[in-house]
Structure 1
Amino acid sequence: MIDPNEAYEIQIAKQAKIIEALVNRAERGHEVGGTAYSLFESAIALQAEVWEKTKDLEKALDTLDRASSELEVAYQTQERIQRNLADAMVAMEDGFALFSEERLQACNAQFRQLLPDVEPLIKPGLGFDDYLAAVNASKYLNRDENGVSGRPHPVAKEQGSGQRFSSFVMVLRNDRWFQISYRQTSSGNITVLQTEITDIVRENRREKNRLIDQQSHLLQAAFDHMSLGICTFSSRGELLVRNERFGELLGVPLSLLKKRSPFQRIVEHVERHEILDREGRRSRVSGWFKAVRRGEAVQERFRRRDGMGLDIRIHSLPDDGFIVSIMDVTAETEASALLEQRVQERTAELTEANRLLQIHADEQTKIEAALRHAKEAAEAAHTSKTRFLAAASHDLLQPINAAKLYLSMLTDRMGQPGVEEVVSRLKRSFTSIESLLQALLDISRLDSSGAEFNVTSFNLGSLLQGVAEDLAPLATERAIELRIVPSTRWVSSDQRYLMRCVQNLVVNAIQYTERGRVLVGCRLKGDAVRIEVWDTGVGISEEDRARIFKEFTRASGAAKGPGMGLGLSIVERACRHLGHPIGLASQPGRGSVFSIEVPLAPPGRASVSEEPRMEPMLEGSLDLIVMIVENDADELHAMTQVLESWGASVLAAGSTADAAALMQEIGTAPDILLVDYQLNDDDNGIETIRTLRALAGAEIPAIIISANRQRQFLQLCTEMSFAVLTKPVQLVRLRALIDWKTRARVA
């Protein structure tokens, strides 16, 4: 009769009606009559029911009171939460809005005032999709050329809990940037947050422009220090970057070499004023731009009016632009012309000699004499060529040394993805160039009639240990086991050339061994020591053994290695001059063994000028004052940067006079001198060391950088107690040598 789920007021009313009906029934029963017992029984039952209903009624009233109290507390809590939410929304710097059931429930003023044309629509009850549509249609958005302002309607993503979230960037017309993000809460509501990121975007823009400007300065500085004339053009043929050398070689006015000057105008000026001797090449010059646009490389040689020879090359760039390089080839052209003239003269002489031989048999003796004279002239020309090659190789070591120093610094400083591989490839390329130049320099020295050797007595064990340390990385890279058997024998030879010979044999063995090992050891043979290099490589056939020691020669059937085929040629020349017999035994497919016999020498003490055994690059700061004297600006700058990166304080000078003035200015002597041997004019590193030591009144530790290996020079090195470091400089050896020289002074 009474539904317990109904309101308490309704239940109480129904109970009151039931009680009233029962009372009326009891009264009617008494009026009708009945026994006293039945009336008593009815009264008792009625009273029990009344008590029970009264208890239920009291319980219901108590429950109603508790529910009313809890409801009042809930109302107060809700009001407090709403006030806190309103206060928090007002205090927020960002725009904030709450959508309940896809309808706007509450927002702050920042959210409402972001877009003036959307502000009238932002009222409670606004649909979430309608809000996004209004933002997308706002006229205050900064749209691109296609009328798109970004992604104001991003596709919502799903979180792990199945809730939506998204974020996009909105750009206003006044260069203000906002990040709009919304997230669906666990209760199904959507919160929208408008965050201004204008300062972040502008700072990123400024940083980007700063980096671009910095890279432009570095690129321009690199261009300005190049001996080539360099100029880059855009895909539309407009000038971008050039160096002064470009204008000097091409002879074009500076007004035509301004930024964005058209390439065609420069070509037209060259043609109109006939700056270059074209020799019928007008059509090719005028078609350069079209050829570059087709992706073709252009290379032409011209001669200026003043006789200077120019080599002009044009190559495409990845951005559809192109780069133009101009090189002065006057000396090369004149040398070629002179050589051609000499060849023509010799050819004419030989032709005349042959004619006379056919006509006059009795003059055969005279003709043979003329041929001998021609041979002597050819040998003299070969000797001249050797001297030229030696000088050119030495001069080329200067920029290679500076480039290797800059590559080492770049390896330490750059950490972007991909940059380390590029630097590694550049370093391997410079190492290959260095090896080739060093090989050519060695051959030119060994072929010259006045070749000098510094024959001394030394411990063979230190030489073999040096070979092991230098070539262990190459063996590891090739997955070849390199084993050096130690030796305590003393031998008599030129330590530098003997070490170079052993290194060449070991490198040759590693390169022609696909798997297995290379073993280096020594055997006694009478009063000599035979240094043997064993390998398990491809071996050498009988027909190849007669020519394997010639220049640019490799074993037949072997894969082409990274070298140029000069290593064994240097070994043969050096050992022939030193009187060291060379041995070779090989079996194709199983391996080879090369040997060098060196005279024994009585044990003695190591030379005081002998360099210390090089160890891996030392750690820690180089807390020293180092004075560098170097006439080459690039190498001076590179060496300064390297030493400063090690923690040293560097005093840089370009000559002996500058170094002396600098030392007098600071009023103290440096901890060590690092001096180039060949300076400008008559200045040299030995005079620098003498002058600075005399000025300081003390024997300052010194290291001189030179490729000079003459006996007189090395003897002077020992007498003056300075170390010699050859170019290109190996940074590991330089650091160890500086540490050794300064520690020896402290001790």
Structure 2
Amino acid sequence: MIDPDEPLETQVARQAKIIDALMRRANRQHEVGGSAYGAFQSAIALQGQIWAKTRDLERTTDELRHARDDTQRMRKNLADALSAMDGGVALFTAGRLEVCNDIFLKLLPDVSERLQPGLTVEDCFAAMSESRHLSSVEGNFDAALAQARRGRVGTSVVSLVIELAGDRWYQINLQRTSAENLVLLLTEITPIVRRNRSEKESLIDRQADYLQAVFENMTSGVCTFSPAGEVMMYNQQFRQLLGLPYTMLQHGTDLQRLLDFVAQHRLIAEAAEHDIHHWLDRLERQGRLRRRVRHATGRMLDLHAHRLPDGGVLLELKDVTLESRATEMLENRVTERTAELTRANAQLREQFDEMARVEEELRVAKERAEAAVSSKTRFLAAASHDLLQPINAAKLLIATLMDTTADTRFAPMVERLDGSFCSIEQLLHSLLDISRLESTDQALTPTEVCLGALMRSVWEDQTPLAQRKGVQLDVVPNMCFVRSDPVYLLRSIQNLVVNAIQYTAPGGRVLAGCRRRGNTVELQVWDTGIGISRKDQKRIFEEFARADNVPLGSGVGLGLSVVDRTCRHLGHKVRVRSKPGVGSVFSIEMERVAGRVVDEQEGCNVATPAECEMDHIVLVIENDPDVLFALTGKLEQWGASVLAARSLDEALGHVRDMGMAPDIILADYQLDNGETGDRAIRALRDETGVRIPAIMITANRGNALLKKGATEGFSVLTKPVQLSRLRPLMEWKIRWQAPEEAAE
């Protein structure tokens, strides 16, 4: 019934009420009870309870008296402690004033009577703000109180600075000591404020001296005016540049008066009176003014006027006479230079017109030259068949003649004749290759080429030349594939090998082989010939260029030019290493094709057949009678039965008369009346119903015919035909590609 946590006064009042209630209850029981003994017994029990409660009440009263004494003693000690502090202190409990010291009360005497215990914090600040002794507050009482209440207990301190009458300054600190208690401390900072003010004024004075010293040492003239337009600070340079008397430029002089003086005495030549009076309006509107004016003495001055942050004006004068004169001189020089450039431009225009005329003439001449070169290229490309036909016929006849006169006195003469025709053939091939490489109509076609087949072909073609020269020719085949043009790569390898044989003395050696270097293959041709000097190595790839140590009659110097042009078109790299008297190494570096498998025809290694009779029926289709006669004679000399035809109709007639398919077809590509060898081969196969082995002999070196031959099943040999390659190829095709029934 009694809460021990309640104040002692509350507990005593509750006990008194309980005792009074018990006394009234005992009196009622005594009046109503029917038994005297029961009433007596109840009175005794009640008396015991009353005594017990009385003892508790006395003990509680003593404790309350002691607590009150302790509280009064603690309050007195707190008041003494607060009185001993230098600053004003006020303690607020649950938002109300609990205790404060005399300094706090006497700080604002006119409101001290309102600062009584129980006053709220808000009312305390309201009373302080209404005091006559409060001059200013740096901050806001309400905002500071709200910030202090939001801060953490014991750590957050909110400060305000107040100014009292008599130039006294105090700092108010607010700090929460518990959830509901707030301490307000007032600390006098008057000495600090006055010292700071003194130091600031001293600093300003020193800065003014420094600023004045800076002004005096500036090359420009500077003058400042107050917001009211009065002179505040200036240097002597400003007065001297403007030519003002001492009495005119003094502290307090009005800016308008200064401008009137300048206008009246015409100190500025270009500034008319009506113009100079508008300077202030322009400065007011734009905030700045910039003018270049001429002084009455002839000096050029730059005038800069700026509005200062406080509304004042800063005027700056700078003597730019030398700069103006330099600018004027520069402008005069620019004018003169412009005139010179104008004249030069006119001359250049005349020269340009002359150059345009010359260029037009050169363009016309160039077009004529290109037309002539194109005509020459087209002529050589178109006439290659006609040029090679007699060479082909002559070589076939010479080959037949060599076999016929092998053991007679005419053999050396025929051999020399064959060598002469070989030289003519080589020169003609070089000229045709250069013309094709220069022609834009016939571009090289890179494809996947097997080096083994090309090197084997070169070995077969050039072995007779090496044997006649007494040079050992060795070829190390490499069955890897590269990306190149097969026709022109074969010609390049042949040119390198022929040159190596030609410039190697009898008993020497020529070796051709390949080296793999990562993703590339380097084809090398070594020889033990005469070698090439270092200075000649830079020009041997030019047309008609020959080394100094080359004997007369050794060619015209076109072979290496064909190699260089071919490799540049195909993206190959050509290199040469040589030493005079030791030998040379020519190499062609090409891109290698990985993962390519050699098929039967690409990797065929046809051995030279034994000298035996060729017991085969050969159908030859050739529109040139000389070539047809020579080739027929050579085939018959080999033992073959030859059916000679000059056209497709004549070939079909032979097949129909014979009643069977021939063993092999040798056909020229370019026939009369628009007929071609591939159409003739296809027509004969359709006529006989048999896939007859066929070889195309042509002067056409394009890749299109090679691709068509691979698709339609015929081989291609270029003119002049090499007999050393023709006979093995015929034997291989007849043996391994025997006639099959044609597909329906």
**TM-score between both structures, scaled by the size of structure 1:** 0.49
Please, what TM-score do these two structures have when normalized by structure 2? 0.49
